[in-house]
């Protein structure tokens, strides 16, 4: 299974770090009736430049092309790329707080170990798990965690890079 399903597209946008840029881009996407599934924004190695990564549901390729064209016209935008589903590396971070009693703790720790998750906080009644990986891996882990009492879930959203130069 692809890391990012074929109905989803990842749009990578390099922008000048200016106020209201993220709001303008998300509004532009929403006005064309596209749903943003995840959105991340972070500084880059270039001072004053931010990388915005959008994951959208690709319901109409023609509208997606229009969205990309409109984003490219914004004065703060430096580059826009619709990333190749197979040619990219995608990751997401999950922080998960789970209520756990003494009996369930060992099975929960075994499951976390299988997924190469880290326990970053532990108390008598709960623990916090950190997991990084492909979105499908995070989804699979969350599916198994539905057997436990989840207190808090925090997912960063997808970020990614194209392979090679």
Does 75 reside within a domain?
yes
Q: Which domain range does residue 150 map to?
A: 89-162
Task: Say if CB 84 and CB 14 are below 8 A apart.
Answer: no
Which pLDDT score is estimated for 85? 73
Task: Say if CB 91 and CB 113 are below 8 A apart.
Answer: no
Nearest-angstrom CA–CA distance, 10 and 157: 11
Which pLDDT score is estimated for 63? 85
Nearest-angstrom CA–CA distance, 58 and 16: 26
pTM of the model: 0.82
Segment 120-135, tens digit of pLDDT = 999 999 999 999 999 9
Residue numbers of the chain with a pLDDT score lower than 70: 1-6
Task: Say if CB 47 and CB 13 are below 8 A apart.
Answer: no
Which pLDDT score is estimated for 32? 86
Nearest-angstrom CA–CA distance, 35 and 38: 9
Q: Within 13 A of 92's CA, how many CA atoms are on the CB side?
A: 26
Of 62, 86, 100, 70, whose CA–CA distance to 134 is shortest? 86
Which pLDDT score is estimated for 102? 87
Which pLDDT score is estimated for 4? 52
Which pLDDT score is estimated for 81? 92
Final residue before a domain boundary, out of 86, 118, 139: 86
Does 23 reside within a domain?
yes
Does 73 reside within a domain?
yes
Does 42 reside within a domain?
yes
113 and 60 inside one domain: no
3-state secondary structure of 24: helix
CATH number at residue 101: 3.30.70.1150
């Amino acid at each position: 299974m692809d890391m990012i399903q074929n109905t989803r597209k990842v749009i990578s946008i390099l922008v000048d770090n200016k106020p209201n840029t993220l709001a303008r881009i998300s509004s532009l996407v929403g006005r064309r009736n596209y749903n943003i599934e995840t959105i991340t924004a972070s500084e880059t190695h270039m001072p004053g430049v931010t990388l915005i990564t959008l994951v959208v549901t690709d319901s109409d390729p023609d509208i997606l092309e229009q969205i990309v064209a409109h984003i490219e016209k914004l004065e703060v935008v430096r580059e826009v790329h619709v990333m190749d589903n197979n040619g990219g590396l995608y990751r997401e971070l999950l922080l998960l707080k789970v209520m756990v009693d003494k009996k369930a703790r060992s099975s929960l720790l075994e499951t976390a170990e299988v997924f190469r998750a880290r326990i970053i906080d532990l108390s008598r009644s709960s623990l916090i798990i950190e997991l990084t990986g492909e979105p499908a891996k995070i989804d699979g882990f969350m599916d198994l965690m539905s057997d436990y009492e989840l207190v808090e879930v925090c997912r960063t959203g997808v970020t990614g890079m194209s392979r090679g130069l």
